Amino acid sequence: MPAYLDNAATTPMRPEAVEAMLPFLTERFGNPSGSHATARDAKKAIEEAREVVAAGLGARPHEVVFTGSGTEADNLAVLGAHTAAGGRVVCSAVEHHAVLHATQAVGGVTAPVGGDGVVDLDRLAALLGPDVTVVSVMLANNEVGTIQPLASVAALVREQSPRALLHTDAVQAFPWVDVAELAAGADLVAISGHKFGGPKGVGALVVREGATVRPVIHGGGQERDLRSGTHNVAGIAALAAAVQATVDGRAADVARVGALRDRLADGLLAAVPDTVETGDRSRKIAGNCHVSFGGVESEALLVLLDGAGIAASAGSACTSGAMEASHVLVAMGVPADRALGSLRLSLGPTTTAADVDLALAAVPAAVARLRGS
């Protein structure tokens, strides 16, 4: 049986989410913006989903804006807040490109992180000021899994940049941590359905009451005019079902998957010489195992692992023919040769002990083969 260990890239849909979706692909096909019974039925489904998603995020239903992806939610947060207020934008150096590139598009700057991947609060403070209107610090990182101290970030932002809206990208955090609690200090919170057993192409942004953002997508005025476009009713219903299932199962998933992750990381550290674990495990989400191997190229490793039935990912990308270390690892000060030999194994609620056993057999063998040892 192959082992799917790329849950940070996407997850299999939860049966509850598939089931919730199906009626809206068949008989309940209405456009919620209409006024007849078929439309009202779809509208009711959207509003029921909004309540579930709001509860899962510690928000009120009218604060939830459904979007077409996590990327879109992040863009609405950063660009929408910046369009409304002008001023300067600051984000952490380890943000997903959805936030990083949106920040860079409006001339924003990045706040450094330490070797553990945690944003450096002193250096963030030095970048803040009364003219900063948007600050974006993710709740958990997609590559190395580091959870950021968002309450401390929020306190700093309130003090140094009282006009600013604080956005947090909770896309990777939601499966593993209580976002309602940990993101309570943020004005804007983004999630993405496919990272926790929902469908691809649907996300949500919490826009807390009193926070002003302008739309990025203009049109028919859906979602309080913040995200025009006919609702993805099936996707939104499934997103809500996945939110509920995630919240209900989270504590058990964290305990079980966290133990599997620990066995995997400890096993790799013990079995493969010259292996370094990236970041501080005690500050990571339970599903993340990120390591680097000396003298190995990630791309070659991924090919061998794929051949052995393991879906994994690397912390590097091939840009115009040359390998480049990820901006996250560079920001953490991981040396280039180590960054280019990194491996992310991301576990999820469907990961089994057998998946971990397979990885613990295949990864050391693949590394040894690449090292010619």
> Smallest distance, Å, CB 69 to ligand PLP?
3
Q: What is the DSSP letter of 221?
A: -
Q: Of the listed pieces 65-73, 227-235, 300-308, 361-369, which binds ligand PLP according to CB under 6 A?
A: 65-73
Q: Of the listed pieces 42-50, 66-74, 285-293, 345-353, which binds ligand PLP according to CB under 6 A?
A: 66-74
Nearer to ligand PLP, 182 or 367 (CB): 182
Give the one residue of 11, 133, 136, 142 binding ligand PLP; rule: CB under 6 A: 142
Q: Of the listed pieces 67-75, 255-263, 274-282, 328-336, which binds ligand PLP according to CB under 6 A?
A: 67-75
Compute the distance between CA of residue 41 and CA of residue 37 in angstroms, rounded to an integer.
Answer: 6
Compute the distance between CA of residue 83 and CA of residue 228 in angstroms, rounded to an integer.
Answer: 17
Compute the distance between CA of residue 55 and CA of residue 65 in angstroms, rounded to an integer.
Answer: 13
Angle, to 10 degrees, between the axis of helix 37-57 and the axis of helix 233-271?
30
Q: Which residue among the candidates 318, 336, 353, 354 is catalytic per the annotation?
A: 318
Give the one residue of 32, 56, 58, 70 binding ligand PLP; rule: CB under 6 A: 70
Interaction of residue 74 with ligand PLP, rule CB under 6 A = yes
Interaction of residue 98 with ligand PLP, rule CB under 6 A = yes
Compute the distance between CA of residue 84 and CA of residue 256 in angstroms, rounded to an integer.
Answer: 44
> Smallest distance, Å, CB 98 to ligand PLP?
4
Give the one residue of 145, 175, 199, 203 binding ligand PLP; rule: CB under 6 A: 203
Nearer to ligand PLP, 110 or 275 (CB): 110
Residue closest to ligand PLP when measured from CB atoms? 70
Compute the distance between CA of residue 268 and CA of residue 254 in angstroms, rounded to an integer.
Answer: 20
Angle, to 10 degrees, between the axis of helix 298-307 and the axis of helix 353-371?
130
Give the one residue of 14, 43, 88, 96 binding ligand PLP; rule: CB under 6 A: 96
- Give, in order, the Cα–Cα distances in Å from 316 to each of 3, 86, 159, 193, 296: 21, 34, 37, 25, 12
Interaction of residue 192 with ligand PLP, rule CB under 6 A = yes
Compute the distance between CA of residue 354 and CA of residue 279 in angstroms, rounded to an integer.
Answer: 26
Interaction of residue 133 with ligand PLP, rule CB under 6 A = no
- Give, in order, the Cα–Cα distances in Å from 194 to each of 103, 275, 312, 315: 24, 31, 17, 20
User: Who's near 151: CB < 8 A, 6+ residues apart?
Assistant: 182, 184, 185
Nearer to ligand PLP, 203 or 315 (CB): 203
User: Who's near 55: CB < 8 A, 6+ residues apart?
Assistant: 180, 247
Nearer to ligand PLP, 76 or 367 (CB): 76
The verdict on whether 318 is a catalytic residue reads: yes
Report the run of H or E that residue 81 belongs to, with start and end: helix 70-85
Interaction of residue 172 with ligand PLP, rule CB under 6 A = yes
Burial 221-252 (b: 16+ CB within 10 A, else e): ebbeebbeeebbbbbbbbbbbbbbbbbebbee
Q: Of the listed pieces 68-76, 86-94, 219-227, 364-372, which binds ligand PLP according to CB under 6 A?
A: 68-76
> Smallest distance, Å, CB 95 to ligand PLP?
8
> Smallest distance, Å, CB 139 to ligand PLP?
9
Interaction of residue 169 with ligand PLP, rule CB under 6 A = yes
Interaction of residue 239 with ligand PLP, rule CB under 6 A = no
Residues labelled as active-site residues: 318
**Footprint on this chain of ligand PLP (rule: CB under 6 A):** 69-71, 74, 96, 98, 138, 142, 169, 171-172, 192, 203
